[in-house]
Each structure stands twice: as C-alpha cells, then as structure tokens.
Structure 1
Amino acid sequence: MKELSKYLLQVNAEFKNGEIVTEIPYEEVMRLVNEPNIVIVKTNIPEETLQKAVDATRAWAEKTPLAEGPDTFVNNQHKRRLHIAKIQQAPQLFHDHTFDDLTNLEEEYKRDLLTVFDPMRKFWNALTGNQEEFGFKEGDAYLHPQVTHYPMGGSFFGRHWHPLNPQKVGQILALNQYGRDYHSGGTGYVINDTIIETEGFQDMGDLLLFRYDLPHWVSPSSFADRFSWDDPRGRWVAILPFYNPWGTPAEHKEPQGWKEQIQTAKKATSEATV
C-alpha cells in the first residue's frame, strides 16, 4: 500500500482466474475506504480485455437506437445525458450505456462486457460480504452495470452524492489511459473539507474505490477540444452500482458531517475510558 496524497491511497493487486486479489485482505481495504480514503486498486486487468469492453459497448450502441424517454431500469439502453439530474440535482453531460438486462444481451457483446463486470461483481461481493448475481429484481436493489463515455470538449458530471447503503463502496474502473486516450477530466471527492482530485493518478485498469456517500464529481474535459458525441476519444469508465430505483434517495443536505462524526467518536471513546 502507498499513500499518493492526503486521503488518496494505492493498493496493488493481481488478476487471477478472473478475480481481483488485493495485496492486503479485503477487510483491510474496506477499513481504508471507510476511514474515509479514496483507494486506487492496481487491478492488472489486461489492457486488451478493457479495450474489448469499450469496443463491444461502441459496437452495440451503433446498432441500438438512443433511448429518449425516462429510464426503465429493466433493459439495456444508451442515452446522451445532457440535463440536471432530477434526484441528484447535478448537471450532466456524458454518454451513458446501462446494461440492466446484461444476461440477455447478444452473446457477442455480453462476452466482452462480462470479462470486465464479472471481476467487478466478485470484488464488490468480497468487499461487502454480499453474494449478488446479475439480474433485475422488482422492488429491490440489483447490480446495474454501466459503461460511461465522457467525450472530449466539455463533458462532466456535477457534484453529487448517494445514500451509503446498500452500495457501501463505489467502484470506477478506468477502461482507457489518461495522457494517451484523453488528457483532461477525472473524478474528484471532498473529505473533511479537503478536495481530492484523482485526475492523472488513475491509469488504465485502475479501480477507484470510495465510500458511497462521499460527495464526488467528474471534472470537465478541456474546452480546448471540440465536442462531438460521435468522437470515441475521451474518458471511458465502467461502474457497477447496486441500485434500487424504488429506494430512498440521498438526503438533500450534503453529507459533510465527517468532522462532527469524528468528534462524536472521540468523545464517546474518552467517556468510555473515564
């Protein structure tokens, strides 16, 4: 494990038989996430595997009409998001590909997407103690695979946050390489009034882990580039929310109570030792 900056840690891992195996126990990884810290896991997933996931997503999207209506949360769809999110009240500009019916996706695309999402699923299960499989569940939380493209020229996702449960820990897997495939834009966080920017720290194959109720955002890609929905350049990431469309959304008040929580914990510890 290595400290990259305040609240930003790096943990090495091996990719064995389709699973992400960290150099420290999964329980220790979760402890670091919950302190809280942003943890970058060097998964060592082969670049070829990651590129195939991007290629499969693009090929599928080219033959699939863009979704225009409200999200259904039960099918596979892709949408150009350019609005202020109703629940999160955060401005958005990115191309979202969601695979809520991944198991019924055409085999030629499903194969290459599962080589990325299945390791993410197993890793999240190992971190959280769950045993979730892919598949929609009416009225309950389920795994919600997404591939997101942030085009060059001004794409972004505004500052927002989520309920901690049932997700517990968020995952953002880099599918391409900063400095080669894109040169601006990255995920930022705030912990104890400290801004943590991960731009330039996350390489292709790196998995960002974060406590799910931390405020976070995706910084804009440079406006020096011309924007185009059809340009494949830009940042590509895979994420795997454990999402309940019928669940309680995050509170309107931003969860900035870390200092209060720490002080409360210190007070309780002090009183217990008296």
Structure 2
Amino acid sequence: MQEVAKYIIKVNAEVKDGQIVPEIPFDEVMRLVNEPNIVIIKTGLPEAALSAVIEQTRQWAAQTPLAEGPDTFDNNQHKQRLHIAKIQKAPQLFHDHTFDAILDLEAPFKETLLNVFDPVRGFWNDMTGNNEAFGIRRGQPYFHPQVTHYPLGGSFFGRHWHPLNPQKVGMILALNQYGKDYTSGGTGYVINDHIVETEGYQDMGDMILFRYDLPHWVSPSSFADRFSWEDPAGRWVAILPFYDPWGTPADNEEPQGWKKQITQAKEVAV
C-alpha cells in the first residue's frame, strides 16, 4: 500500500481462484475509501482478458442497433450519450454499453464479460458485506454492468454525484493503458474541498474505488484529436453500478452529508 498523491492510495492485489484479493483486509480497504480517499486497486486481472472485453464489445455493438429511446434497464444496449442529464444538469459525451441482462448474452461474449465483471462483483461483495448476483430484479437494487468508451477529441462526463446507498463504493476498472491507448482524460473528485485528479495514476487493470457520494467527473479528452464515434482509440473503462433504477434518484443539490457523517464517525471513534 502506498500513498502516491494527496488522497490517492494504491493497493496491490492478485487474482486467486477468480477473485481479486487485496494485500490488506477488505474492511481496511473500506475504511480508506470512507475516510475518504481514492483507492486504486492493482487488480492483477490479465491484460488479455481486459483487451478481449474491448474487442468483443465493439464487435457486439457493430451488430446491435444503437438505442435511441429512454433507458429501460432490462436489456443489453449501447447508446451514444450526447446530452445534459435532467436532474444533475451534467453534460456528457461518451459511448455507453450497458448489460443489465448480461446473463442473456450469447457465449462466448457473455463469458468474456464475466471473466472481468465476476471478479469485480466479488470484490464489491467482499468489501461491502453483500452477496449479490447478476440479474434484473424490479423493485430492488441490482447490478448494471457497463463498458464505457471515451473517444478522443473531446469526450467527457460533467461533474455529478450519486446517493451513497446502496452502492456505497464506486468502481472504475481501466480496460486499456494511459500513455499508450490514450493520453488525456481521467476521473476527478472533490475531497474536503480539494480537487483530486486521477489522470496518469491509473494503469490498465487498475480499479479506482471512491465513496459513491463524492462529486466527480471525467475530464475531456484532448481536442487536438479528431472526434469519431467509430474510432476505437480513447479511454475504455468497465464499471459496475448497483442501484434500483425505479428508486429515488440523486438529489439536484450536491450531497455534502458525507462531511458530517465522517466527522460524526471520527467523534465516536475518539
């Protein structure tokens, strides 16, 4: 474990029997996230498995019509997001591939995705004390596996936030390499009124963990590059949200309650 910048801590891990096992206990990882810090887990997931997710997601998308209507949260779809979120007023420009019905995908694509998402799911369960499986469950929270592409030439995701529960910890897994596959664009956060940028700190296979109610964003890729939806160049990440899409949405005001909660927790500890 090493603090590589203010509020950024890297933790080594390895894959054992299909599970990501960190060098420190899971409850310690959770404590570091809740302080809060940005914790980067060096997962040890094979680069070949990560690259296969990108390649086969692109192949699947080429054969699947773009979704244009409102999200239904009960299928597998991909959408070129180019709008401003209604509630949080967060502008966004990226290509989103969402696999709510991941278990309904045909092999071998399903196995390719599960080779990555299953270890991430297990890590989240171990960290949060849950035992959740993939599958759509109306009226309850469930997993929404996503593979997101931020093309070169100005893709981004504006400052936004989420309710803390039931996700508790956000997870962003790098599917390709900064400095090689892309050279601009990273996720930023606000911690104790301090701006924390992770660009350049996350390598292929690294998984960023963050307290889910921290305001955060994805910085734009360089406008020096020409934008193209078809060009696979750019940043690729896998994320695993866990929420009820028909539940209460995020508030239109930035959540600052975590500051009070953390202060209270420290007072109790003393």
Alpha carbons of structure 1 residues 131 and 265: separation in structure 2 relative to 1, 3 Å: closer
TM-score by length of 1: 0.95
Is the Cα–Cα contact under 8 Å of residues 163 and 250 in structure 1 kept in the other structure?
yes
Q: Which runs of no fewer than 5 residues in structure 2 stay unpaired?
A: none
| CA distance in 1 between partners of 2:205 and 2:252 (Å) | 33
- What is the CA-CA distance between 1:86 and the residue it aligns to? 2.0
Q: Is 1:159 paired with 2:159?
A: yes
Identity of matched residues, %: 73
Partner of 1:76: 76
TM-score by length of 2: 0.97
- What is the CA-CA distance between 1:6 and the residue it aligns to? 1.1
Partner of 2:13: 13
Counterpart AA for 1:5: A
Counterpart AA for 1:138: R
CA RMSD of aligned residues (A): 1.4
Instruction: Give the secondary-structure state (helix, strand or coil) at the position aligned to 1:248.
Output: coil
- What is the CA-CA distance between 1:88 and the residue it aligns to? 2.9
Is the Cα–Cα contact under 8 Å of residues 213 and 258 in structure 2 kept in the other structure?
no
Larger radius of gyration: 1
| CA distance in 2 between partners of 1:99 and 1:269 (Å) | 41
Alpha carbons of structure 1 residues 115 and 127: separation in structure 2 relative to 1, 3 Å: same
| CA distance in 2 between partners of 1:268 and 1:100 (Å) | 40
- What is the CA-CA distance between 1:257 and the residue it aligns to? 4.5
| CA distance in 1 between partners of 2:212 and 2:248 (Å) | 14
Partner of 1:249: 249
Alpha carbons of structure 1 residues 267 and 43: separation in structure 2 relative to 1, 3 Å: closer
Alpha carbons of structure 1 residues 7 and 93: separation in structure 2 relative to 1, 3 Å: same
Q: Give CA deviations for 1:73-106 in whole Å, capped at 9, x if unaligned.
A: 0000000000001233210000000000100101
Partner of 1:150: 150
| CA distance in 1 between partners of 2:266 and 2:52 (Å) | 49
Q: Give CA deviations for 1:192-240 in whole Å, capped at 9, x if unaligned.
A: 1000000000000000000000000000000000000000000000000
Structure 1 stretch 159-168 or stretch 252-261: which is displaced more? Answer: 252-261
Counterpart AA for 1:145: P
Q: Give CA deviations for 1:164-193 in whole Å, capped at 9, x if unaligned.
A: 000000100000000000000000000010
Partner of 1:46: 46
Is the Cα–Cα contact under 8 Å of residues 35 and 262 in structure 2 kept in the other structure?
no
Is the Cα–Cα contact under 8 Å of residues 87 and 252 in structure 2 kept in the other structure?
no
| CA distance in 2 between partners of 1:262 and 1:222 (Å) | 36
Alpha carbons of structure 1 residues 247 and 55: separation in structure 2 relative to 1, 3 Å: same
- What is the CA-CA distance between 1:256 and the residue it aligns to? 3.0
- What is the CA-CA distance between 1:63 and the residue it aligns to? 0.2
Residues paired across the two proteins, number: 270
Show the 5 A alignment for 1:103-114: 103-114=103-114
Alpha carbons of structure 1 residues 131 and 261: separation in structure 2 relative to 1, 3 Å: closer
Alpha carbons of structure 1 residues 7 and 66: separation in structure 2 relative to 1, 3 Å: same
| CA distance in 2 between partners of 1:218 and 1:98 (Å) | 18
Is the Cα–Cα contact under 8 Å of residues 44 and 205 in structure 1 kept in the other structure?
yes
Structure 1 stretch 8-17 or stretch 83-92: which is displaced more? Answer: 83-92
Show the 5 A alignment for 1:169-188: 169-188=169-188
Is the Cα–Cα contact under 8 Å of residues 54 and 175 in structure 1 kept in the other structure?
yes
Is the Cα–Cα contact under 8 Å of residues 172 and 209 in structure 1 kept in the other structure?
yes
